[in-house]
Amino acid sequence: MNVTDQHTLFIKQKAAELGFSFCGIAKATFLEKEAIALEKWLSNNMNGQMDYMANHFDKRVDPRKLVDGAKSVVSLMYNYYTPLKQTHSDAPKISKYAHGEDYHLVIKDKLKLLLDAIIEHIGPVNGRAFVDSAPVLERAWAMRSGIGWMGKNTNIIHKKSGSFFFLSELIIDLPLTYDRPTTDHCGTCTACIDACPTEAIVEPYKVDGSKCISYFTIELKDSIPASMKGKFENWMFGCDVCQDVCPWNRFSSPHQEPRFNLSEELQNMTKQEWLEITEDVFKRVFKNSPVKRTKYNGLKRNIDFLKHS
C-alpha cells in the first residue's frame, strides 16, 4: 500500500470512528456540467427567495477557489433517520432532520476533530470544513465520491441505507486515492414525484425549490401564497414526504447520535399547544435547534397557515 492509499484509509477509518456512516473522496476540480445545470436552474428562478444560491458562483463550482491548492474533496454522510414520531397525529409536523440539535453544530464539531486528526497523523494539511452553509455543491461531490446517487427528488441515496443523511465535506490540499461514482438505481420508480403535495418535483431529477414545502416553511420570508392552502399535509417546518415514500428508505436504520434525539416536550406537544405557542415556549423547545431559523414569528405564520387551510 502506497502512502496515498495509507492516508486515504486513515481518513476513512477516522471518519467511521467519529460516527460518519459513509466517506468517499473525489479529486478537487472544476464542476463543468454542474455549473451549466446550476446556471439554468437559477435563470429559471427555481431558487425563489433563496438569493444566496446565486452568490459566489465561481466558488460553488470550483473547490480550489475555496481552499488554496485543494487536491481532494472528502464527502461524508451522517445519519439522522429516526422511526420516532410526534405523539399526537393531528399536531403540526416537523421534519425528522430538525428533531434535535442543529446539525450544523453537531457535524461541524465532528469535522473539526477529523481535520485535527488528519493534521496530527499526516502533518501540515491545509483544509476547510463545510456543512451546508457555504458555496459547495454537496450533492455533486457526494455523487463524484461514490457515496450515493441523486434520486429523482434530488436527494442523495445510498443503496444500503436510503437518504436520511446530512452531507458535509472537507476540502484539503492533500492528494488521496479517489473513489468512483456509483450508478443510478431509481429505475422507473416515480414514487417521490407522485407523492409530492405541491408538485415541486417538476421532472425527474429537477426540483423547483420555490414550490417545495420546506422552502415555504423555512426559507420564504413573505406570506405563504393562498394557492398553497390545503397542500401542506400538516407540515409546519420542512417536509419528509418524498423521502418517506422512497423505497430505498426501507433500509434506513435509526441514528446513534444523542444530540439528534427528539425531546420529550417536543414529541408530546398537542395541536392546541402548537396553536397557542408563546415566544418563551418557542425559545425553550427549540434551543440550539434548526427550527430557530424561522424565528418565532415564522413558525407562528406556518402554524396559522395550517389552521386556516
Q: Kindly report the backbone phi and psi dihedral angles of residue 131, in degrees, each rounded to the nearest multiple of 5, phi listed first.
A: -135, 85
- Predicted confidence band of residue 159 (pLDDT cuts 50, 70, 90): very high
Alpha carbon distance 83, 9 (integer Å): 32
Task: State the average pLDDT over residues 178-187.
Answer: 96
Q: What is the pTM of this model?
A: 0.91
pLDDT at site 212: 96
Alpha carbon distance 5, 174 (integer Å): 12
Closest C-alpha to 231, from 269, 272, 195, 207: 195
Residue 203 has pLDDT above 80, yes or no: yes
Alpha carbon distance 154, 234 (integer Å): 23
What's the mean per-residue pLDDT of the chain?
92
132 catalytically annotated: yes
Task: State the average pLDDT over residues 184-204.
Answer: 97
Catalytic residue (one of 132, 184, 222, 304)? 132
Contacts of 42 (CB under 8 A, 6+ apart): 53, 54
Under 8 Å between Cβ of 191 and 162: no
Quote the percentage of the chain above a pLDDT of 70: 93
CA distances from 281 to 101, 261, 273, 304 (A): 16, 19, 10, 17
